[in-house]
Structure 1
């Protein structure tokens, strides 16, 4: 593109762009909702607190938790009234659950009776709940920019291109367990440069000249990725020198349909046998070809693929028969003749009739009116979808004016270039890069308002699809129908059935279950390789997707009689009768005692192990964090690691070493919660294989939780967790609401969460019930101004 035509808008500092975006999207004054109701009468609350809480706290707690330096940094001796306790709410919120769950007081201290525990815990819960429910605060979400996944998906759905420019962006920061939290999604100068560069590349890719058909995507030898030890790409080709070496190309398949794949290849000849090349899709071999061509005259293998599920898929070209494994080839190897395979490129041709990008209609003549009409016809609808709202007249006029920067006399050449300039401006605009929800009174925490229909469409779309709203959502927003609860629920259910809902598994489940960490773990086990790593991840993601799209009970995350495996994973699990790399759903039957639910999946068991051994502590903490929502506090300073504990190295078993570790009073309370859970999973080794012995010693999986629950082994642990189904459902709803809102859950959200959890229970724990509860909740549909001077949570 001619650089002299670069739009002025793209050269402005980012702060100026933000200001322009605010001007272009003027705030619409919304009527404030009724102010929050009054808090409970202080006299009544104070009476209950003084009668049912203070005496028990004095009797069982203040001996350790006394100002100024209470045990664990918790002091309870100063607050004698409910009003004082409210000011120290962060501490008192921890008291009730700790007492009700028998985590406090410590075992060596005097213990309250069951009735005293109920009175103390439930009184605190009730008093604080009254405050939260009467406030019914919708909260406030910091204006969010698109994260990397959202940017790539939005570009794909907006312009039909398969570029993934955000893969080159800096990694997104994580807050509250997710990378879509507004408080941490900042913009650095480097990221702004990446945005401008990406906008130019995408704009050039997006424009389809008049009369052009579908355009193939070609990944050259230099761009191919190696799997299994390929020698890398060069101008001559990607060298595959060993049996099993693979040249891999990743493509985004924008629509379902029949695609054509072309692979250019040649061989380094060594003997009379032909070189064989296998072609695979997502690891499953589809077809093999004989390659008998030279570098001077390479051959092109062609095959067709039927894609039912749009999205990202991998096409691989694999060397099948290097002569290092065939005894008949020994004479040739002795002569130094080695057979190799070289890949020149892998090309993907879209289905017939599919046009990637935007099709342009040229101006009818060289008049300004014809030019402007043609520009408006393509840019107005594009800006609406990019900004996720109707563009203002000022915005539309500016975008069309930018196209004139490329205008000379040759309309057929310059009109597409002018549209590219406007697209670059759109993709560099704050209205595209951010998801603004402007308030009339942004600094007034009492100024509540309902979101408008376009803001609801945006929240809903990025929640379930990690992408921009589609035409149906925007049409309903135009009609003002998304505020209708029934319409909002119907759209959420439609979107969960759409293939784009796979983003919920990738981006929500991948972070909730911490599956993304599996990509970097390196267990010290020779049987662990890339195919098994990929299979572990796919099992968990497919299981989650199945629960979503089949609208199954979320309790199946805790225990189920089925899972998804391919041949490598089935072998890993000891499940017979499974062949090939394709995944299939299997009923576990007799294997149900060993497998079933996410807790027994190899992905979770591997990422919660140490490189050389299992870790009951990590596994127990993972369950508390992600399934029960009761994360233990960080370990106290100066406490030695398990292996460094005095006497631990001489202990015969890992259980004995943990018992020695718990003799430290600073460690005992938290480990009493984590260790029994982790030890119940010791039948799984560091990469999730089933075992009965460890180091020649029988494994003891018995345990007791602080609340007195006894169990032995994973199957009994799962039954215990199912008894805590309300706690699990509350935790999952909490996580899903956090992800949907893009902010952390606060104390004021508790009442809404309790109501949402109850509605899920009343709907047989269906996944759709959680989504329905989220999208119809007050925090999802409303927002308020911020408190002056309030800093975002870390």
Structure 2
């Protein structure tokens, strides 16, 4: 039977010269393997492939792209049906992808996003940082952005009246900070620590010999005196937790001690409610960004702490009571008095004397407006900001500059990225973007921020669109520290790290889980991604890394000895280690679990979507969740899921997801290794969509690593979605394959994927509506 089918594949390959109906190889595959489920009017999985065999492929490329993806990942035909061998799979994938690519080349389509795209909250923060040198906590100023296609920079075209008011308020506050103008009356900021944060150990960034507390980035608007007041963590009876003896708490600014206050144990129970009533101090600080630290002076460790190992949580009144008092809230109010010190910000940086105030204002504003609007500016662009300057400068030069900057920050040319179609082109015309549009796409992709002066200068000279210049600039930008946004913005969303903040494992089952562990989970994964990016390693190292990053809290949780302190260390791992790579990290294992148990379904679907790029469709609306009142929680997980997914409508997807998830069952809901569950050996028999079965996580990772092209494709699609700010269309997939062909000879290095994206047609071109 193989010998009958394979010659037709070869014939199809040789005859696939022009776009048209599917080539003979595709026709034979569909008729031989697929029509029982996807033919004769049967639309199983939403596809009737037989009906498309005589129709032009270009009119149905979206369907054929889906079919190609399932064939390339060996998900179709299902493992329990007759399937081609691997050689046949490779041949048919080559035939179908080749025809799709030729059709795309003959009739290019590049898609387009929204004409107007508002800056996300993260992009706004970074833009303010790079424009004005200010670190601003935008979470206090702007609402969270909604996500689509996995990223929050996709659905950001609207600007409601309520959101506009938030932007106005933010612009007023930021512009006042930028010029060093004191508020009319003292203003305050309140920062609260998570209630489940253990504060018995050193906090990174604070002086050695201290424990607990917080390091808080804060911008002091003017030089002067500010009041810092503290509140300690209390229990439900309003008693300060952990106050068994006297302590000291210190307040620092940029590492310099500003105050040391005693925290005395009261003699009577009633006095406990007044312990922190006088934990206030006045500090003298210069204007500008600073790091405000509040922490306790550490005491020598006690035997109690040693006895608690390996449980390292001390935040819960009943199971893990605090051993020492902990910080709950920091309030900063000021300025109470203003000093005569030199202000910081755009005025201080210029060194201009405002003798000719309008000329000085224009000299300050012109380069700022150029960077803010991401293009060359002319006198007309300065008219509106200078009008605001003139209206307000009666109250002083700083007041005028504050008004002018606020006008820039609320301008649509700053808040929105605009890509207008050239005039006179017919609808559907593909055209190259201008250099300034490419500069914005490049900077918001790699930095989540504004283009710098070098990018703008190249765009103004018409050189940035040249492939060699574009490549060189992308390489420069990847080496810049601002490319860390690919870690904290792209990777945090792609790998669902933002979901860590909302997970709350059942404390009856996982009593030692605390916020410290939650943050260590996040940092381990971020450091792995950062290493692959900064060292320009093959992206498959994200799965197979033989090292990880640990601090003491995470090492204790994983049962790895010899790691001490709050610093993260790069730790080499033995071949038989239970750690290393994304699938063995607590971040993924925790966000893919429920509060009280693991979920092979969620874990399996996460791997299908994130690692293989083949998400399953959502479940039918009438399918209930796994209910312990219906399916006994005492049954092993495999039996519980079997009872849950017995319906034929469920089996198609569960047959793909569940085997992957079961291979990860040795990890519990908070990522700890286990061999038994409820005194029953863990069943980790799993498999891959190609029908292979195996035991445990090691062969799962090895099987995924055998096809680095699949993981590289999935990552490239996510990077491209993030770069374009829109979901991918069928017309984008030929470009993805071209990127992968260019990266294959270099082991799919991270930089090869990024450079391929910035040179691709979807990134450098657009299409008229």
Q: TM-score, normalised by structure 1?
A: 0.77
* Aligned twin of 2:501: 519
Does 2:197 correspond to 1:226?
Answer: no
Distance 1:141 1:311, change over 3 A: farther
Distance 1:81 1:165, change over 3 A: same
Contiguous gaps of at least 5 residues in structure 2: 1-13, 198-209, 233-238, 265-275, 305-323, 336-340
* Aligned twin of 1:250: 216
CA distance in 2 between partners of 1:152 and 1:130 (Å): 43
Does 2:573 correspond to 1:585?
Answer: no
Distance 1:312 1:727, change over 3 A: farther
- Tell me, yes or no, if the aligned pair for 1:263 and 1:302 is still in contact at 8 Å: no
Structure 2 SS opposite 1:596: coil
- Which residue, out of 399, 403, 411, partners 2:389? 403
Superposed counterparts of 1:262-661, under 5 Å: 274-277=246-249, 291=262, 315-318=293-296, 355-359=344-348, 365=355, 370-408=356-394, 413-441=395-423, 444-524=426-506, 525-589=510-574, 593-643=577-627, 648-649=631-632, 652-661=635-644
Distance 1:189 1:348, change over 3 A: closer
Structure 1 SS opposite 2:766: strand
C-alpha distance after superposition, 1:470-501 (max 9, x if no partner): 23322333333322333322322222222222
- Tell me, yes or no, if the aligned pair for 2:192 and 2:328 is still in contact at 8 Å: no
CA distance in 1 between partners of 2:612 and 2:705 (Å): 11
C-alpha distance after superposition, 1:592-622 (max 9, x if no partner): 5311111111011000011111111111110
* Aligned twin of 2:207: none
- Tell me, yes or no, if the aligned pair for 1:274 and 1:290 is still in contact at 8 Å: no
- Tell me, yes or no, if the aligned pair for 1:291 and 1:299 is still in contact at 8 Å: no
Contiguous gaps of at least 5 residues in structure 1: 1-39, 231-243, 255-259, 305-309, 327-337, 787-794
Distance 1:473 1:312, change over 3 A: farther
CA distance in 2 between partners of 1:697 and 1:180 (Å): 46
- Tell me, yes or no, if the aligned pair for 1:252 and 1:313 is still in contact at 8 Å: yes
> How far is 1:465 from its partner?
1.3
> How far is 1:406 from its partner?
2.4
> How far is 1:348 from its partner?
12
> How far is 1:171 from its partner?
2.0
Deviates more, 1:185-194 or 1:267-276: 267-276
Structure 1 SS opposite 2:540: helix
- Tell me, yes or no, if the aligned pair for 2:18 and 2:103 is still in contact at 8 Å: no
CA distance in 2 between partners of 1:157 and 1:174 (Å): 25
* Aligned twin of 1:160: 133
Structure 2 SS opposite 1:568: helix
> How far is 1:325 from its partner?
12
- Tell me, yes or no, if the aligned pair for 2:214 and 2:294 is still in contact at 8 Å: yes
- Tell me, yes or no, if the aligned pair for 1:672 and 1:705 is still in contact at 8 Å: no
Superposed counterparts of 1:205-220, under 5 Å: 205-208=177-180
Distance 1:374 1:91, change over 3 A: same
Deviates more, 1:165-174 or 1:538-547: 165-174
- Tell me, yes or no, if the aligned pair for 2:613 and 2:714 is still in contact at 8 Å: yes
Deviates more, 1:774-783 or 1:522-531: 774-783
> How far is 1:435 from its partner?
1.1
Structure 1 SS opposite 2:396: helix
C-alpha distance after superposition, 1:129-183 (max 9, x if no partner): 32123334333231311000001111122112233345432221212111111x5
Structure 1 SS opposite 2:619: coil
Structure 2 SS opposite 1:404: helix
* Aligned twin of 2:99: 127
* Aligned twin of 1:307: none
Superposed counterparts of 1:656-695, under 5 Å: 656-695=639-678
Distance 1:716 1:61, change over 3 A: closer
Distance 1:116 1:72, change over 3 A: same
CA distance in 1 between partners of 2:480 and 2:44 (Å): 52
CA distance in 2 between partners of 1:261 and 1:319 (Å): 22
CA distance in 1 between partners of 2:21 and 2:278 (Å): 92
- Tell me, yes or no, if the aligned pair for 1:642 and 1:658 is still in contact at 8 Å: yes
Structure 1 SS opposite 2:431: strand
CA distance in 1 between partners of 2:572 and 2:289 (Å): 27
- Which residue, out of 719, 736, 751, partners 1:768? 751
Deviates more, 1:125-134 or 1:313-322: 313-322
> How far is 1:780 from its partner?
1.6
> How far is 1:340 from its partner?
9.8
* Aligned twin of 2:165: 193
Distance 1:77 1:556, change over 3 A: closer
CA distance in 2 between partners of 1:266 and 1:626 (Å): 42
CA distance in 2 between partners of 1:373 and 1:287 (Å): 41
Structure 1 SS opposite 2:594: coil
- Which residue, out of 90, 93, 98, partners 2:65? 93
- Tell me, yes or no, if the aligned pair for 2:252 and 2:293 is still in contact at 8 Å: yes
CA distance in 1 between partners of 2:547 and 2:673 (Å): 17
Structure 1 SS opposite 2:561: coil
- Tell me, yes or no, if the aligned pair for 2:447 and 2:486 is still in contact at 8 Å: yes
C-alpha distance after superposition, 1:73-129 (max 9, x if no partner): 33234334132x544443343334434545334456565676776666554333323
CA RMSD of aligned residues (A): 4.3
> How far is 1:357 from its partner?
4.1
C-alpha distance after superposition, 1:647-688 (max 9, x if no partner): x53874212333444543222222222112111111111000
CA distance in 2 between partners of 1:425 and 1:625 (Å): 43
Q: TM-score, normalised by structure 2?
A: 0.79
> How far is 1:56 from its partner?
4.5
> How far is 1:300 from its partner?
6.6
> How far is 1:187 from its partner?
1.4
- Tell me, yes or no, if the aligned pair for 1:276 and 1:321 is still in contact at 8 Å: no
CA distance in 2 between partners of 1:710 and 1:564 (Å): 31
CA distance in 1 between partners of 2:450 and 2:549 (Å): 30
Distance 1:288 1:608, change over 3 A: farther
> How far is 1:576 from its partner?
1.0
Corresponding pairs, count: 689
CA distance in 1 between partners of 2:151 and 2:328 (Å): 41
Deviates more, 1:558-567 or 1:651-660: 651-660
Structure 2 SS opposite 1:563: strand
C-alpha distance after superposition, 1:489-533 (max 9, x if no partner): 232222222222221111100011011011101111211111111
Structure 2 SS opposite 1:251: strand
> How far is 1:343 from its partner?
8.1
Distance 1:314 1:549, change over 3 A: farther
CA distance in 1 between partners of 2:131 and 2:534 (Å): 24
> How far is 1:467 from its partner?
1.2
Structure 2 SS opposite 1:153: helix
* Aligned twin of 1:73: 46
Distance 1:342 1:779, change over 3 A: closer
